[in-house]
Structure 1
Amino acid sequence: MIRTDGPPANRTRPRDRKRHIQEAAAGAFARNGYHAVGMQDIADAVGISAPALYRHFPNKYALFVRTAFALVQQLIEATEDAAQRPVENAADARVALDALLDAVISTTADLRAIGGIYRWEGRYLERSDREDLTAQFRLLRERFERPHRVYRPEISDEQRRLIVLASLSVVASITAHRTVVAARSLRTLLKGASWRLLDIDPEISASTVQGGDFVADTAAGVVGIGAGAGRREQLVDSAVRLFAARGYNEVTIEDLAVEVDLTPSGVYRHFDGKPAVLLAACDRAAVALERAVLRVRESASSPDEALRRLCRACVDHSFQNLALMRIYFSELGNLAPEDQRRLRAMQRAHVADWTALLQAVRPELGGREAAVLVHAGLSVVTDEIPLLPVRDEAAAVRLTHFVETVLGLD
Structure 2
Amino acid sequence: MRQAVGDTAGAPARRPKDRKARIALAGAELFCERGYHGVSVDEIAAAVGISGPAVYRHFPNKYAILVHATREVVGTLLAASEQPSADDARGRLDELLRALVRVAVNRRRVAGLYRWEGRYLTAEHRQEFAARMATLVGRLAGPLRDLRPELTAGQADLLTRAALSAFASVTTYRAAATGTDTERLLIRVAWTLLRTDAPAAPPRPHATADPAPVAAPVRPASRRELLLVEAIRLFHRHGYHAVAVEDIGRAAGMQASSVYRYFPGKADLLAAAYYRATDRLTGATTAAIAEASDPADALRRVVRAYVAFAFAQSDLVAVYLAENNNLPDRDRHQLRGAQRLHVEEWVRLLRAVRPELTTGDARVLVHAALNVVTDVGRIGRFDHTEGYDARIARLVLAVLHA
Instruction: Give the alignment's TM-score, normalised by structure 2.
Output: 0.91
Is 1:348 the counterpart of 2:340 in the alignment? yes
1:16 Cα offset (Å): 2.4
Alignment of 1:167-316 (within 5 A): 167-181=163-177, 183-202=179-198, 220-221=213-214, 224=216, 226-316=218-308
C-alpha distance in 2 between matches for 1:174 and 1:230: 40
C-alpha distance in 2 between matches for 1:113 and 1:233: 37
CA contact (8 A) 1:311 1:400 kept: yes
Partner of 2:47: 45
- Among 63, 66, 75, the residue aligned to 1:64: 66
- Among 13, 19, 27, the residue aligned to 1:17: 19
C-alpha distance in 1 between matches for 2:214 and 2:315: 6
The C-alpha deviation readout for 1:295-329, integer Å capped at 9, x for no partner, is 01210010100000111111110111001000001
- Among 120, 123, 135, the residue aligned to 1:139: 135
The C-alpha deviation readout for 1:174-209, integer Å capped at 9, x for no partner, is 1111232451220111011100011112369xxxxx
Letter of the 1:15 partner, please give it.
K
C-alpha distance in 1 between matches for 2:301 and 2:372: 17
- Among 361, 368, 376, the residue aligned to 1:369: 361
Instruction: Give the alignment's TM-score, normalised by structure 1.
Output: 0.89
1:17 Cα offset (Å): 1.9
C-alpha distance in 1 between matches for 2:222 and 2:367: 35
1:280 Cα offset (Å): 0.4
CA contact (8 A) 1:221 1:322 kept: no
Percent of matched pairs sharing the same residue: 41
CA contact (8 A) 2:311 2:382 kept: no
For the residue of structure 2 that corresponds to 1:30, the secondary structure is helix
Letter of the 1:48 partner, please give it.
I
- Among 386, 392, 396, the residue aligned to 1:399: 392
Letter of the 2:96 partner, please give it.
L
CA contact (8 A) 2:170 2:177 kept: no
For the residue of structure 2 that corresponds to 1:229, the secondary structure is coil
Partner of 2:203: none
Structure 1 residues 63, 228: CA separation in 2 closer, same or farther (over 3 Å shift)? closer
The C-alpha deviation readout for 1:196-244, integer Å capped at 9, x for no partner, is 011112369xxxxxxxxxxxxxx8558x494343111111111111111
Greater mean alpha carbon deviation, residues 298-307 or residues 109-118: 109-118
CA contact (8 A) 1:179 1:372 kept: no
Partner of 2:209: none
Greater mean alpha carbon deviation, residues 144-153 or residues 12-21: 12-21
C-alpha distance in 1 between matches for 2:281 and 2:259: 27
C-alpha distance in 1 between matches for 2:269 and 2:355: 42
C-alpha distance in 1 between matches for 2:292 and 2:128: 46
Partner of 1:108: 104
Whichever of the two has the greater Rg, that structure is 1
Letter of the 1:262 partner, please give it.
M
C-alpha distance in 1 between matches for 2:191 and 2:170: 17
For the residue of structure 2 that corresponds to 1:9, the secondary structure is coil
CA contact (8 A) 1:307 1:354 kept: yes
Is 1:359 the counterpart of 2:334 in the alignment? no
- C-alpha RMSD of matched pairs (Å): 1.8
CA contact (8 A) 2:28 2:113 kept: yes
1:46 Cα offset (Å): 1.3
CA contact (8 A) 2:110 2:171 kept: yes
1:278 Cα offset (Å): 0.6
Partner of 2:3: none
Partner of 1:154: 150
Greater mean alpha carbon deviation, residues 21-30 or residues 382-391: 382-391
For the residue of structure 1 that corresponds to 2:108, the secondary structure is coil
C-alpha distance in 2 between matches for 1:228 and 1:388: 25
CA contact (8 A) 2:350 2:362 kept: yes
- Among 325, 347, 363, the residue aligned to 1:333: 325
Letter of the 1:383 partner, please give it.
D
1:393 Cα offset (Å): 3.0
Letter of the 1:136 partner, please give it.
R
Partner of 1:207: none
Structure 1 residues 8, 101: CA separation in 2 closer, same or farther (over 3 Å shift)? closer
